[in-house]
């Protein structure tokens, strides 16, 4: 079964606005990762947050992790048309394999 679920399934915003995507997961994790997938392409790793971390930043990306609620959020600030893509959370559990959620499709309108 899927480890993670993203919310919303689809999000459409204007360029310059912030985009927030949420991820919930089911079991204890070692870390949680976010990936981007442009249409028809492979996945690209964006950021990794360990289970003992609460917040992490990378450029315009901000990730939070709440292990008590088994949830994470990805914030993209000042969005650009080039940010249009699907975004997936993925978790590494004790088995040390990566399990993906169902993804959020983000559309940034110029």
Partner 1 sequence: NAGVTQTPKFQVLKTGQSMTLQCAQDMNHNSMYWYRQDPGMGLRLIYYSASEGTTDKGEVPNGYNVSRLNKREFSLRLESAAPSQTSVYFCASSGDRGRRSGYTFGSGTRLTVV
Residues 38-67 that bind partner 1 (CB under 8 A): 40-46, 48
Pick the closest to residue 1 from 109, 77, 101 (CA basis): 101
Of residues 68 and 96, the one with the C-beta less far from partner 1: 96
Pick the closest to residue 29 from 86, 71, 77 (CA basis): 71
Dig out the tokens for 67 from the structure: 């292990």
Q: Which stretch binds partner 1 (CB under 8 A): 17-25, 37-45, 54-62, 76-84?
A: 37-45
Among residues 30, 64, 67, 73, which is the contact residue for partner 1, using CB under 8 A?
A: 30
Among residues 21, 63, 99, 108, which is the contact residue for partner 1, using CB under 8 A?
A: 99
Among residues 23, 85, 92, 108, which is the contact residue for partner 1, using CB under 8 A?
A: 92
Q: Which stretch binds partner 1 (CB under 8 A): 19-27, 31-39, 54-62, 65-73?
A: 31-39
**DSSP characters over 29-91:** -SEEEEEEE-TTS-EEEEEEEETT-SEEEETTEEEEEETTTTEEEEEE-S--GGG-EEEEEEE
């Amino acid at each position: 079964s899927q480890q993670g679920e993203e919310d919303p399934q689809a999000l459409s915003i204007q360029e310059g606005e912030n985009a927030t995507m949420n991820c919930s997961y089911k079991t204890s994790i070692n870390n949680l990762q976010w990936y981007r997938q442009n249409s028809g392409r492979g996945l690209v790793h964006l950021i990794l947050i360990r289970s003992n971390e609460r917040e992490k930043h990378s450029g315009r990306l901000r990730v939070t992790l709440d292990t008590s609620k088994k949830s994470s959020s990805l914030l993209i600030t000042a969005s650009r048309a080039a940010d249009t893509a699907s975004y997936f959370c993925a978790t590494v559990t004790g088995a040390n394999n990566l399990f993906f959620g169902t993804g959020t499709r983000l559309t940034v309108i110029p």
